[in-house]
Structure 1
Amino acid sequence: MTAGDALLGRALVEEATKKSGLVWVRGSGPARALWHVWHEGAAVLVGDGPGEQPFPEGLVAGAPAEVTVRSKDKGGRIVAWTAVVAVLEPHSEEWEAAVADLKGKRLNAPDAERMTERWARECRVVRLVPEAPRTELPDGSLAAVPLPTAATTRRTAPAALPRLLLKRRGRR
């Protein structure tokens, strides 16, 4: 790999990750889809606390993580890259700068006014610093069994609902 290829790879990782709303992150266990913000050369995530996204197993300081970036419009994989995990200390200068960007992207927070205080107290803010992009395609399918979740599907509709919805509003 030449120096030009490395620069191109870094640029691809940065642009694709900036534009994607989700990245798939794998630590030592199964990969999880996580929302993120690109901040100062790394993907920054908040999670592992009440009301926030759960991180995959093995996402600890100094450990490697595999990141797969998807296309925002089509959902297909654009690039995969290896990252080094760095956990930010609450209220450090780096943490404050990262959280300022994260706060703007966090949707539907129940406590938007005190969200950063809760993150400092109960959550982890993690930086995924890119090491090397991978351009080769995987050999097999990346399909996996869905991870267990507390989310439920909606209940069945009442039996009379179709009649009510399809009922004519009056005769013409």
Structure 2
Amino acid sequence: MTPRADAAFDLPSAVSTIETALSSPLPTSGPTTDQGEPLTGEWTSTRGEGFLLLPLWQSETLTGVYGREWNEAEARAESHLAALTSHLDAHWGPHRTLNMRAPLLRRGSDERFPEPFRTLFAKDCYGDLTLWGPLPTRLPSPRWAALALNQSDGDAPLILTALITDHPLTEPSSPAS
């Protein structure tokens, strides 16, 4: 699924995209790579060792949007995240939240973060992670899933993303070597 600016949020499609991603193989090694929609170049996913990051929905660009209109756009995006979270909670059980504030504040240091945090920051995905897992799959190893609502700056669109990993996510406590 390639999110289109101004496209309506489609809960069944978002759930289907996540379920498909959960059953997809994840790279076991190699570089982190971006995939894009061939005709438009829009970002469709990023794959790296043990993870898959993909956009589920994107708002319109918020350039020149202020005050009440901006607040309404943010509330609409938050309602999409809440609806998807509620659906997945009903399916997988309660989620937990990984606050991204501490890793984000440490980002300016010389610290190297492990994947997938390095990719999240490179993609301006700074939103707190709503996490589930381990989740059962038909694959030999379990999966963890996370959602986040992200915005790189006040004019950029809001982007709802899904992150699928083959390992638990915890706040990185020390630099990766």
Q: Shared topology, TM-score over 0.5?
A: no
TM-score bracket for the superposition, by shorter chain length = under 0.3
TM-score by length of 1: 0.24
TM-score by length of 2: 0.24
The higher-RCO structure (CA 8 Å, 6+ apart) is 2
Higher CA-based Rg: 1
